[in-house]
Structure 1
């Protein structure tokens, strides 16, 4: 971890040849910007908030991760998550089958929250991220770039795939006392998707503002 950069007075303009300054989102302190080496990050000297960190992936690498996550997401929603067996009977459950069942059993609020946080929010996040990264490969800003970046910021806390995976694993362990429980490809796909989403969470998307140019 590198030593935080010293702040500069807000009234003092940055040199014409310098990189765009970093402005803390928490306290508005302005800092000098610079190229980071592997493992380095810049923190605000006033409040300690993280301003920037080194990332090895460029826009093309992040786009490849997004496409991989979309493929895994389709597998997770098409294949059953778990199969329950009791004697000669077998019942396979998919995510949407479980949501529909909750809706029919008068648990509409839980069904809507599950559908939003496990399907619609993650899907929209990946599609929007893929959209901006497709243009960012060439240093361009995608149409509606500012709106999408703000939406991605607000969607960040609402993708709860990891909570679902943890809850599913706990349920599988407890259900084994009463049923024969067989994990299906869906649960493994959700595990991989959780890993990919964790990687996305560690990527500072704010640097796309500096790496892309607005349309002329």
Structure 2
């Protein structure tokens, strides 16, 4: 890719194409296997870095704030994501607890931090230390970040719980909602364009 930046290779079937400029909203697909080759990048590197930083701040708020507050006969109870993870662990649902922690905390956090790391250096046109490993890890971690699935599950649970309790959404659920939007925006950008936007640091 460094020697022939005008070419792009399908990562699924290895078909080689000449890169064409894309208009906003356009997606280049492989004519052989229909895999996505490239997406139009409508945010600059600085914009992507700002998005990653915003995502990190919202992620912290989402994990330290209560998701919902349940009220019944004057008694109230609320919980955070980690409170729910610990409760599942104590209820002998260790597998579900670990999967929840991985897909809703560790994998999304790793995705945000790695993206921020490579973008921090990419703002100056340089490749971050460990750039290749970080880019490879981003591709592998992305499918395991399931914030959107969590939000859908929470909404369904809140609707059902409302029949028995007074349910008040907490700051955590609003933060997760914003995080879902940010994750969707992240998904619309292909981090592979950073290979072309950066150069290897000289020793």
* TM-score after normalising by structure 1: 0.89
Which residue of 182, 191, 201 maps to 1:196?
A: 182
The reply to whether residue 205 of structure 1 matches residue 191 of structure 2 is yes
Q: 1:20 Cα shift?
A: 3.2
Give the structure 2 partner of residue 117 of structure 1: 103
- Count of aligned pairs between the two proteins: 201
Please state how far the C-alpha of 1:104 moved relative to its aligned partner. Answer: 1.0
Once the 2 structures are TM-superposed, how far is the Cα of residue 38 of structure 1 from its aligned partner?
2.4
Please tell me whether the aligned partners of residues 19 and 34 of structure 1 are also in contact (alpha carbons under 8 angstroms). no
Alpha-carbon distance in structure 1 between the residues aligned to 2:48 and 2:25: 18
- In structure 1, stretches of 5+ residues that fail to align are 1-13
- Quote the offset at 1:56 in angstroms: 1.4
- The residue number in structure 1 matching 2:114 is 128
State the partner residue of 1:148: 134
Q: 1:39 to 1:161 in 2, by over 3 A?
A: closer
Aligned to 1:50: 36
User: Using CA pairs below 8 Å that are at least 6 residues apart, which structure has the higher relative contact order?
Assistant: 2
* Aligned counterpart for 2:123 among listed residues 125, 137, 146: 137
Q: Is the 8 A contact 2:8 2:18 kept in 1?
A: yes
SS at match of 2:70: strand
Query: What secondary structure, in the 3-state scheme, does the structure 1 residue paired with 2:69 have?
Result: strand
SS at match of 1:174: helix
Residues 39 and 188, structure 2, Cα contact 8 Å, conserved in 1: no
- Give the CA RMSD over aligned residues: 1.5
Aligned with residue 90 of structure 1, among 48, 68, 76: 76
Instruction: Determine which structure has the larger helix proportion and give its number.
Output: 2
Residue 76 (structure 1) shift: 0.6
Give the aligned partner of residue 159 of structure 2: 173
Whole-Å separation in 2 of the counterparts to 1:94 and 1:53: 36
- 1:72-87 equivalences under 5 Å are 72-87=58-73
Q: Secondary structure at the match of 1:74?
A: helix
Asked whether the 8 Å contact 1:80–1:94 carries over to 2, the reply is yes
